[in-house]
Amino acid sequence: MFFYNEEFDLTGHLPDDSEGFYMLCYQLSQVWVHYVVSGNFRGLSMESILLDVTEIQEVIQAVIPGQRTTLALERDQIMQIESENHCYHAGRIISSTSLKMWMDIVDLQLQKKEMRREGDGGLLKRSFPRTLERCQKCTQSALRCQSVRETGAGIISSNSSTVAAVTMARVETSSSRPYHLIIFGASGFTGQFVVEEVARVASEGPNGNLKWAVAGRSKQKLEKPELRSVDVIVADVGEPGSLAAMCKQAVIVLNCVGPYRFFGEQMVKACVENGAHQIDISGEPQFLEGMQLNYDSQAAEQGVYVIGSCGFDSIPADMGVLFTRTIQGTLTAVESFLTFGTGEDGGCLHDGTWQSAVHGFSEGHELQTLRRKFNHKPLPTVGSKIKRRGNLFFSNEVQQYSVPFLGSDPSVVKRTQRFLLEEHQDKPVQYGAYVGIGGIGNVFKMLFGGLIFWLFVKFSFGRKLLLKHPEFFSFGVFSMDGPTRKQMKDSTFQFEFFGEGYTEGQDPSQGKPNGKIRTLVKGPECAYVATPIAMVQSALTMLNEPTALPKKGGVYTPAALFAKTTLTDRLHKHGIEFTVL
């Protein structure tokens, strides 16, 4: 170990047989990075950024598989180590209360190279010009902060074809992009409520000033009197150039245009290629899983976050299961029961959701084909295996007849559990999702309507009828006009989570679960009040808490991305409440 302060001469402390070559040293703290290195490595002046040590360790292991490091003190520091094939940053921890720092040198076990020194205390150079040129470019890039502003705190380069470039994701709130948020599809039925929510909470943006714009196909529809001060951008999913131009102006794009199976991929592609993070409110498992399969690697390379299902599908379920893990011990299984409340005028949903359901169920076989392409191993079962309920049963938990929930929640939660297992070695939680449908009268309606739906959805002429007459075939649950303002005001939702597991000190491999926990997530009308709240608070969390997000870009579920943030607190503050019962 080395002990040094700001007068530390790095070159004077390199052992003669050092197999690493230290190009930069800098301290980390807040949200941005700045590199300042003197010409002879004396008096290192260090600015800072807060990084997740675990992510840094993953970077090291991505470059040299099996490389192990000791991460030991109190805050993050980075040192950049050069070798002939690798130029990368290794994470360290330093004291937050002192200029004195401890460095634990990483032994890379690389082939020894003769090193020479040029000039009095000058920059150490290897006798390999190509390597030196590559490392100098990395250093110059760091000094300019260019790559850090655009991609985050990681720089990895290699001339080895076996090592993939890794780009750290970054939510840049002070970049040259004119807008923190652009709402795409702002004139659509759901989009209009997202616009209203953004306008309500604009003061919660970075430094109390959220810069935002609206976008869509029709400039005329977007130019509303109440939005006179909001910029308008014309963009169409059928015109890739317009999407690219829009994405280049945004830090985050809120995509409200569905059905996503038809219109979602174009936006994901444009965002990934143009460096904008994307949030959508899709409840379509085939689209969500397809985007992970097709764009996760590309988004990681570009340092872009793509987050699906950030509305009622599936923030309450995904974040609710994560919240339920507060049990003191090991949570092994959770069942959720969703129920709805309406006022005297009842309630309904816009037919956009109905369209997604019709197309989704008609092509359900494609989802199984898609899932086989992941080649995932089954998640390990911790403790007792959860007992699956029937297709129709009376739930004592909510005192209603209930059925399995056929939306995206089970798929999203399972993807989150796989992420937490693979990335953080958290034990996966088994999950069962159900929805209460009420009394016996609703059971007969559901059985009759479900039979008609399944018969019609199999044939093209039947699908046309279903899409043309949503209100008739859904018994009024869906309509082309959507709910009234009063219906939305009087409607509520409630998720009850029943978890079981093992208390601290108990071995999940021995005996039945001996611990239980019950939690509740409740809020206002699900589709056009709660969904905008969830979507907008997700975006604000990204903007205000960038250091709490995973350092690697990619396609994420809500709980995978926001596990270390205060999103549940933000949602609670805005009416989507999380409580332990």
Tens digits of per-residue pLDDT, 176-190? 899 999 999 999 999
Tokens coding 489:
């005001």
Cα–Cα distance measured from residue 51 to residue 78, given in angstroms and rounded to the nearest whole number: 9
Model pLDDT, residue 233:
97
Helix, strand, coil share of the chain (percent; to 5): 40, 25, 40
pLDDT (tens digit per residue) in 252-291: 999 999 999 999 999 999 999 999 999 999 999 999 999 9
pLDDT at 223: 86
Tokens of 238: 């059928």
Strand spans (E) along 469-543: 478-479, 492-503, 515-524
- The whole-number average pLDDT for the span 150-163 is 32
* pLDDT at position 108 over 80: no
Which residue carries 């816009």 as its tokens?
Answer: 350
Highest mean pLDDT among 75-89, 154-168, 493-507: 493-507
- Alpha helices for 348-505 (secondary structure H): 351-362, 364-374, 409-424, 440-457, 460-468, 470-473, 485-490
Task: Name the 3-class secondary structure at 232.
Answer: strand
Mean pLDDT, rounded, of the chain? 76
User: If you ran DSSP here, which 8-state letter would residue 111 be given?
Assistant: P
DSSP string covering 164-216: ----B----TTSS-SEEEEEETTTSHHHHHHHHHHHHTGGGSGGG---EEEEE
Give the 3-state secondary structure of residue 422. helix
Task: Quickly list H helices, 251-324.
Answer: 260-274, 285-302, 315-324
Q: H or E segment at 334?
A: strand 329-341
**Residue ranges of the domains in the chain?**
2-158, 330-525
Least confident of 37-41, 328-332, 387-391, 445-449: 37-41
Tell me if 527 sits within 8 A of 312, measured CB to CB.
Answer: yes
Note whether 302 and 552 are within 8 A (CB): no
Residue 454 backbone dihedrals phi, psi, to 5 degrees:
-65, -35
Which CATH code fits 330-525?
3.30.360
How would you label 48-82 residue by residue, b for 16+ Cβ within 10 Å and e otherwise? bbebbbebbbbbbebbbeeeebeeebebbbbbbbb
Asked whether residue 204 carries a pLDDT value surpassing 90, the answer given is yes
Q: What does the block give as tokens for 11?
A: 């070159």
pTM score, two decimals? 0.72
How many CA atoms, within 13 angstroms, populate the side-chain half-sphere of residue 74? Answer: 8
With pLDDT > 70 as the criterion, what percentage of the chain qualifies? 71
What is the pLDDT at residue 182? 98
